[in-house]
Structure 1
Amino acid sequence: MKLKLIYCFIFLLIRFTAFADVIDIKGKVVDAKTNQGLAGATVSIPDLRIAVATNIDGEFTIKSIPTKGKFVVQVQYLSYKTLTQTVDFSSRASLVFALQPSVIETHEVVITGTPITSGSRSNSTSATVVSKEQLLGSSTNLIDALARQVPGVSQITTSQAISKPVIRGLSYNRVVTLNDGVKQQGQQWGDEHGIEMDQYAAGRVEVLRGAASLQYGSDALGGVINVIDPPTPSEGNIAGEFLTNYSTNNGLSNTSVMLSGNQDGFVWRGRGTYQNAYSFNTPAGRYINSGFNQTNASGMFGLNKSWGYSHLNFSYFKDNIGFYDADPGDPLYNNSTSRTIDYPRQDIRHYKVALNNNFLFGSSSLKLDLGYQKNQRRELEENPVPNLFFDMNTYSLDAKYYLPESNGWHPVIGLSSSLSHSINLGEELLIPAYDEYSTGAFVYAKKVWGQNTFSAGARFDYIKNKGKAQNDAEGNPIFTGFDNKFSNVSGALGYTHIFNDVLSFKANAGSAFRAPNPAELGSNGVHEGTSRYEIGDANLSPERSYQADATLEYGSGFVTGSFGIYENYIHNYIYASNTNKEQTVVVDEETGLPRSYDTYRYGQVNANLYGFEGNLTLHPVSFIHFENTFSYTEARNTSFDRPLPLIPAGVLHNTLRFEPKFKGIKDFYFYAGIDNFFKQNRIDPTFETPTDGYTLLNAGVGATFNVGKQPLKLYVSGTNLTNKAYYDALSRLRPGRFSQEDPTYGVYNMGRNITFGVYIPFGTNK
């Protein structure tokens, strides 16, 4: 009945707005100095999910654009500064965008993951945009690719297939991953639970650093990773891509094919991706049973009309991941390159349907995102019968209404709600079956005057978690159950100032909150994926965060860069730890033999996280770029005056990139880079061990060739070229993280890896 009411509401909105006035917008993109047209420039309107390319004369046409309303337009072209401009289409005038030649192409980009779409320089949130091309390379998953690109972002890894995002030292349920406008829900509380998402489906990715709870509610204390689909082509056109690559270290082969089209406003897209890898190689040998295979299929169909757009997205994700259940002293490596995944392993399925809408009402609009997700996570120990089997269904709604601008103020009101239902279908139990309900509402306003932008907002959240009690066959309690209700009011302030064309400043301050998740409240059992016994606490309080940050950005023809500082005080910070070397003995039901597990209990402390991050790029000449990114996080458990666990080491990335021009070859580049990871001895001494610093050498080369009129991009990238033996501070396989009994137990990170890739974009441009 709820779904029927929602669909009727959408239908009525479409009927009321179906007869809005529309026009075809014509324009031209030119060189600001020569006034010559630029062929192949991209003109996009993110809020309408439309992108077109200019023809040989630099001209473009965007059809069926609403005559009322202002929209942010982004114009991009290689070797020119990106132009971001708000356009009022009611003037019906032909548009001319004059681009300035520059080695800086992304100093100003559009950010859509904040309450109001705007250029990055006038947006107070610290944000980085990662393009489709930057996601290609030698990474093994989406988070791995982002951690190599974005300052302040790192990853908690388990082998090669599982990466959990870390932003400014915060991870797990403190970072929101967004796709198709819907929060990704996949039992992300687990140490070895990765992100169920196709790396190659993204058109681009926005990484928002700092608390984003105002718009996204609980769980966004650390930041947001917003995965954005490619825009639909203009009317009468099709667009597609084919990509494939192969990595030497683990035999990882990736193949992905996408095709999309637009016929009279009916838009569609389909994609299929397959990945397969055998055990990864370290300087000491191949880590046993660390291969994986992944199958992804997704599609979209919908309407782009004068009233806005309505897109129905659907996807299927399947991941099989091998694990090695070793005891201290067992061999860790062999030389097998078999692609057969042995037991123990994970079998993960994720199904998702999302309905994304943007309804235009003249100078106001309504964005409405509805989602359904089904996450099935099986952990198989010795046979196809799962030992642990979590089955979760999540329904979600997110609505934002944009009121007309008034005296320079841009107000937004929002409402979000979700319902999750999780049950246990496996033989073993770790967390109780539970229901989680959340709802929240926010108000937000943004004002621009001169070179200043001010924003403010407030949010109310209500969350209810109910865990079900359960006894074993003898009537002994396994789970006592819990029924918790949490509510909170939070607020945020933001300010930006653009001093001139090259220098700008932004700052934020605010509060946020996160409710304890069901695993923290009710765990009681062996977690096979982490080889430990976990115990929750039903009396945990919600986390409350108070954070502030400030960033200075500079971009000229010779130097571009940014430097930011931040502090985040979190009251009642929750994490699991093993104190006093506590162990729990469990009798294996199949063998009848006892086995000891380290016991991890969830508790709370007060925490303070602070640090800095930034980037600096030097352009001595147009074809040479010396790129540097750096980040450092200090995290203290202020209750016991010691470091917090699972905090990334300081890192400095240095890359020298050459982009000379050759006749007949486009976008040629060559780079060599050094990644410096510093020693991490800021650890929780109760269950962590320090890691040494290390330096990795990377390099790559690539270019685009035209076969007739068809572009063909070829690239080769290499990581850890010296085959350095090292342990990353956030690897769960490093010494002391996987076994307290033997602190020498540990698995090196991946050794030398060289990836060969092909990328072929294709389509029409009518």
Structure 2
Amino acid sequence: MKHSILFFFGVLITTIATAQQRFTLTGIITDTEGEPLIGATVFIHETKKGTATDIHGQFTITDLKPGSYHLHFSYVGYHALTQTAIIKDRNSQLRIQLEESVNELHEIVIESNPLKLSQRENSVLIESVDENFIKKNTGTTLMHSLAQLPGVNYINMGVGVSKPVIRGLSHNRVVVADNGIKQEGQQWGSDHGLEIDQFNVEQMDILKGPASLAYGSDGLGGVIIIKHPNSLPKGKHQAKVQLLAKTNNDTYGLTAQAKGNHKGLSYRLRLTGLDYGDYKVPAQTFEYNRFILPIEHQRLKNTAGNERHLSATVGINRNWGYSHLTVSNFHQNTGIFSGAVGIPRAYQLDHDGDFKNIDLPAQEINHFKVISNSNIMIGKNWLEVDLGYQNNLRQERSYPHAHGRPVDSTNVDALELTLQTFTANARYFVNQHEEFETIFGFQTAYQQNRTGGFEFLIPAYHKYEAGLFSIFKYHASDRWVFNGGLRLDMAHIDAEETTYPFWYRSEYIADVQRNPAVKRDFFNYSAGIGLAFIPDPYWSYKLNLGKTFRIPSPPELTANGIHHGTFRFEKGNADLKAEEGYQLDAGIFYERSQWMISTSLFANYFQNYIYLSPNGRFPREEIDGELYPYPESGQEYAYKQAPAMHWGGEVNVQYKPTSRLKLYASGEYVWIQNTKTQLPLPFTPPYSIKLDAEYHLPIQTAILSGAFLKTNYSIYGSQNRVDQNEPTTKGYELLNASMGLEFGRKGFMELLFQAQNITDRLYLNHLSKYRILNLPEPGRNFVITAIFKLTGSSHQKEG
């Protein structure tokens, strides 16, 4: 056996390292009139190597092995283009034409879908954003910025914590993939944010709709893919510093990045620090349970926080592929509104003299990640391997007497959750013909969750899951593109029996069982088929059908405790079945001249849909025949299961009347209903309409190289379709504006100004965890960002 293993690795290494003939790929990139595009970018996905066109629009890439390559071509103001090139036994030449683009987001290469399909060829619509979009739409969190896209929302707790919602689905129905690795950080909790440094994101894709085939059962609702940034060419180096200030909560922040490529060794380093205070609201009081409570100085007490993040990447890019290693650490310490733990009382809300201190209750999160990404040429095919390790430490702090225990100021660790995740993904790309490509993939993950603290919410558990899948694409003709696949998944969950002491009015009552031992095994399949019909260069019609399923998460099976960040008691159900869904997506995409229009409709039927529902009562524990209420618990929310219908759609229209003016309009609507009770499912976002106008000023001086003005008007409808015991929420409108200035020929400095909620509108966000307390969202906010960039180069031959 030992000799067989050594022989296998010897053959593999020999295959990879064996010298082969090297070939050269040359070409020219022009516009539709045949004029060369100077400085257009050419990038090879498989090797992470690229170049730019010269003054004649020509490019040269040398030292290529025989095989299949996905080439990405992009140029500012033009459609990005993806093309497959198969290098066989000779040098190759290409002639590429790029078309002008109405939508700047379509100037971004979409490469996150495993099949590398273009927007026109894909059977579902994909939204792609880059750091320019995020910069122009800077929010309090990454998800706040992405919420400008139709179909994308967020659940928030204050200003520093938010999580993604796609088409009304969230938590364990939306995957966030960071550099190919699924983010694992207690995402089941509504008050548990996304542990991603928003300034460290340079490009991302949002897949709206079923993505279980490639990303596992939790991709049932969609995927947010944070992509590994492209390496700079050899000899190129860049440093960037960004300063940030916000008036609403006195935010001050700095993020700095250095990246480059020294003789084929690429590197990237990012440091981020943020400090912010209690946020301001346009109200002096709020109403809870018919009591009028004060908001002193119009600031929500104890909503301050701070963040410290670090990320470092090093890697090599060669003709056989690439290998990159990323180490990152996300650290956030944030207060929780003083009235959110237990029943709000006026004395808890008195100003303590400091708007920036973090008092109790509070939560501290540290998320450490190590990710390895490699792409290796084997023969003429490619093997992608992603390996990851994550350690998520969540500490929630509170006073013991708020939980019925004796006063003890030295013991404030209410809840501690430590989640370790080991992940391994592999994808083997077989592409012998340009018309047909197949991917075979394997994914596996192992999780261990440990618990601590004087309060109980979920038990310690182990979870193992694995999946096998195959995906194909077939270019039947220039007009028809088909894609589809099949996936098999299994999972094993083993949760420990847990007992905890029960306290009532500072008196110990008894040890009670909070959850029994739970051992569950799951096995199921996902399948999908999609097509894109492209009758001409302007229109694309899309249809996608899929059967999906989702494995219940351990908290859905085992939770049984007070979740103070969400002001409720959560109760799991150990007998939950796996969700199964049948999903349909249809879309139309049109772009010509000054117009871009996209529409998408979706209809999904879920068997055994799992949801958390308020049941209108407060939890009690029976001990020796007596009922004891859980202290300061809030209403009980129980995990339930029922058949459900989920449908809706998005529309996005963009018009470019002049080369400098862009007009945008988008809208979305989501409808979810329990077909058993005929009641809406809780926590559904309302419809929204967003209107934008962006104008680029005709300014070109020795100092100022560019400027833009932008305004945004958003309308959010009332949400009256609510579950029993869920409050309705009134609609509202928000007005925002921004401007940007760019200095120097190479944009060495940028200044951006934003005014958010200009009218200081008082409103409630239906998806906010503070909504149940009738707490308003932040008021007027002014944001200023200064970016300084320095680039340099050394003469190194690009091979």
Please tell me the TM-score bracket, short chain as reference: over 0.9
Structure 1 residues 550-584: Cα deviation after superposition (integer angstroms, max 9, x where no partner): 11001111211101100111111112222142333
Q: Say which is worse superposed, 274-283 or 81-90, in terms of deviation.
A: 81-90
Question: Partner residue of 1:361?
Answer: 378
| Offset at residue 204 of structure 1 (A) | 0.5
For residue 425 of structure 1, the aligned residue among 452, 477, 485 is 452
Whole-Å Cα distance in 1 between the matches of residues 488 and 468 of structure 2? 6
Whole-Å Cα distance in 2 between the matches of residues 6 and 762 of structure 1? 49
Structure 1 residues 641-686: Cα deviation after superposition (integer angstroms, max 9, x where no partner): 01010111101000111123322344421111100101111111x2
Which amino acid counterpart does residue 120 of structure 2 have in structure 1? R
Structure 1 residues 419-455: Cα deviation after superposition (integer angstroms, max 9, x where no partner): 0000112222211100011011011111002221101
Secondary structure in structure 2 of the residue aligned to 1:760? strand
| Offset at residue 28 of structure 1 (A) | 4.5
Whole-Å Cα distance in 1 between the matches of residues 11 and 695 of structure 2? 55
For residue 503 of structure 1, the aligned residue among 517, 539, 546 is 539
Asked if 2 retains the 8 angstrom alpha-carbon contact of 1:455 and 1:494, the reply is: yes
Question: Partner residue of 2:617?
Answer: 581
Question: Partner residue of 1:702?
Answer: 740
Asked if 1 retains the 8 angstrom alpha-carbon contact of 2:213 and 2:485, the reply is: yes
Q: Say which is worse superposed, 675-684 or 22-31, in terms of deviation.
A: 22-31
Asked if 1 retains the 8 angstrom alpha-carbon contact of 2:370 and 2:388, the reply is: yes
Which amino acid counterpart does residue 506 of structure 1 have in structure 2? K
1:212-231 correspondence runs (5 A): 212-231=211-230
Asked if 1 retains the 8 angstrom alpha-carbon contact of 2:719 and 2:730, the reply is: yes
Question: Partner residue of 2:645?
Answer: 608
Which amino acid counterpart does residue 457 of structure 2 have in structure 1? L
Question: Partner residue of 1:748?
Answer: 776
Question: Partner residue of 1:539?
Answer: 575
Question: Partner residue of 1:84?
Answer: 82
Asked if 2 retains the 8 angstrom alpha-carbon contact of 1:455 and 1:493, the reply is: yes
TM-score normalised by L of structure 2: 0.88
Asked if 1 retains the 8 angstrom alpha-carbon contact of 2:15 and 2:379, the reply is: no
Which amino acid counterpart does residue 545 of structure 1 have in structure 2? G
Question: Partner residue of 2:406?
Answer: none
Asked if 2 retains the 8 angstrom alpha-carbon contact of 1:586 and 1:594, the reply is: no
For residue 453 of structure 1, the aligned residue among 473, 481, 484 is 481
The alignment status of 1:319 with 2:319, answered yes or no, reads no
The 1:468–1:653 alpha-carbon spacing in structure 2 relative to 1, beyond 3 Å, is same
Question: Partner residue of 2:361?
Answer: 344
Secondary structure in structure 1 of the residue aligned to 2:566? coil
Question: Partner residue of 1:300?
Answer: 313
The alignment status of 1:138 with 2:155, answered yes or no, reads no
Whole-Å Cα distance in 2 between the matches of residues 218 and 593 of structure 1? 35
The 1:81–1:479 alpha-carbon spacing in structure 2 relative to 1, beyond 3 Å, is closer
Which amino acid counterpart does residue 661 of structure 2 have in structure 1? I
| Offset at residue 617 of structure 1 (A) | 0.8
Which amino acid counterpart does residue 76 of structure 2 have in structure 1? L
Question: Partner residue of 2:493?
Answer: 465
Whole-Å Cα distance in 2 between the matches of residues 314 and 649 of structure 1? 38
1:115-514 correspondence runs (5 A): 115-136=114-135, 137-148=137-148, 150-284=149-283, 285-326=298-339, 327-330=343-346, 338-382=355-399, 385-406=412-433, 408-450=435-477, 451-472=479-500, 476-514=512-550
Question: Partner residue of 1:551?
Answer: 587
Asked if 2 retains the 8 angstrom alpha-carbon contact of 1:243 and 1:758, the reply is: yes
Whole-Å Cα distance in 2 between the matches of residues 390 and 7 of structure 1? 41
Secondary structure in structure 2 of the residue aligned to 1:456? strand
Gaps of 5+ in 1: 738-744
| Offset at residue 407 of structure 1 (A) | 8.2
1:48-59 correspondence runs (5 A): 48-54=47-53, 58-59=57-58
Asked if 2 retains the 8 angstrom alpha-carbon contact of 1:22 and 1:306, the reply is: no
Whole-Å Cα distance in 1 between the matches of residues 766 and 500 of structure 2? 39
The alignment status of 1:631 with 2:668, answered yes or no, reads yes
Asked if 2 retains the 8 angstrom alpha-carbon contact of 1:20 and 1:307, the reply is: no
Which amino acid counterpart does residue 704 of structure 1 have in structure 2? E
| Offset at residue 622 of structure 1 (A) | 1.7
Aligned residue pairs, count:
745
The 1:244–1:437 alpha-carbon spacing in structure 2 relative to 1, beyond 3 Å, is same
Question: Partner residue of 1:723?
Answer: 760
| Offset at residue 54 of structure 1 (A) | 4.2
Question: Partner residue of 1:741?
Answer: none
| Offset at residue 26 of structure 1 (A) | 4.9
Question: Partner residue of 2:717?
Answer: 678
RMSD of equivalent CA atoms? 2.6
Which amino acid counterpart does residue 46 of structure 2 have in structure 1? D
Which amino acid counterpart does residue 234 of structure 1 have in structure 2? P
Question: Partner residue of 1:663?
Answer: 700
Asked if 1 retains the 8 angstrom alpha-carbon contact of 2:449 and 2:460, the reply is: yes
Question: Partner residue of 1:690?
Answer: 728
Asked if 2 retains the 8 angstrom alpha-carbon contact of 1:261 and 1:267, the reply is: yes
| Offset at residue 361 of structure 1 (A) | 2.4
Question: Partner residue of 2:606?
Answer: 570
Question: Partner residue of 2:402?
Answer: none
Question: Partner residue of 2:72?
Answer: 74
Asked if 1 retains the 8 angstrom alpha-carbon contact of 2:618 and 2:633, the reply is: no
The 1:359–1:632 alpha-carbon spacing in structure 2 relative to 1, beyond 3 Å, is same
Structure 1 residues 36-79: Cα deviation after superposition (integer angstroms, max 9, x where no partner): 4424x333233333344445665555454x33223232222223
Asked if 2 retains the 8 angstrom alpha-carbon contact of 1:627 and 1:655, the reply is: yes
Asked if 1 retains the 8 angstrom alpha-carbon contact of 2:394 and 2:416, the reply is: yes
Whole-Å Cα distance in 1 between the matches of residues 660 and 740 of structure 2? 14
Whole-Å Cα distance in 2 between the matches of residues 479 and 515 of structure 1? 20
Whole-Å Cα distance in 2 between the matches of residues 8 and 220 of structure 1? 38
Q: Say which is worse superposed, 101-110 or 155-164, in terms of deviation.
A: 101-110
Bigger radius of gyration:
2
Question: Partner residue of 1:733?
Answer: 770
Which amino acid counterpart does residue 450 of structure 2 have in structure 1? I
Whole-Å Cα distance in 2 between the matches of residues 259 and 460 of structure 1? 42
The 1:298–1:63 alpha-carbon spacing in structure 2 relative to 1, beyond 3 Å, is farther
Whole-Å Cα distance in 2 between the matches of residues 516 and 253 of structure 1? 40
Whole-Å Cα distance in 1 between the matches of residues 741 and 379 of structure 2? 45
Whole-Å Cα distance in 1 between the matches of residues 646 and 168 of structure 2? 7
Whole-Å Cα distance in 1 between the matches of residues 585 and 37 of structure 2? 41
Q: Say which is worse superposed, 468-477 or 303-312, in terms of deviation.
A: 468-477
The 1:357–1:431 alpha-carbon spacing in structure 2 relative to 1, beyond 3 Å, is same
Asked if 2 retains the 8 angstrom alpha-carbon contact of 1:313 and 1:355, the reply is: yes
Whole-Å Cα distance in 1 between the matches of residues 150 and 529 of structure 2? 23
TM-score normalised by L of structure 1: 0.92
% of aligned pairs identical?
A: 32
Which amino acid counterpart does residue 215 of structure 1 have in structure 2? A
Asked if 2 retains the 8 angstrom alpha-carbon contact of 1:113 and 1:206, the reply is: yes
| Offset at residue 514 of structure 1 (A) | 0.9
Which amino acid counterpart does residue 393 of structure 2 have in structure 1? Q
The 1:204–1:11 alpha-carbon spacing in structure 2 relative to 1, beyond 3 Å, is farther
| Offset at residue 216 of structure 1 (A) | 1.0
Gaps of 5+ in 2: 284-297, 400-408, 502-509, 624-628
Whole-Å Cα distance in 2 between the matches of residues 758 and 51 of structure 1? 29
The 1:175–1:333 alpha-carbon spacing in structure 2 relative to 1, beyond 3 Å, is farther
The 1:657–1:579 alpha-carbon spacing in structure 2 relative to 1, beyond 3 Å, is same
Secondary structure in structure 1 of the residue aligned to 2:557? helix
Asked if 2 retains the 8 angstrom alpha-carbon contact of 1:47 and 1:117, the reply is: no
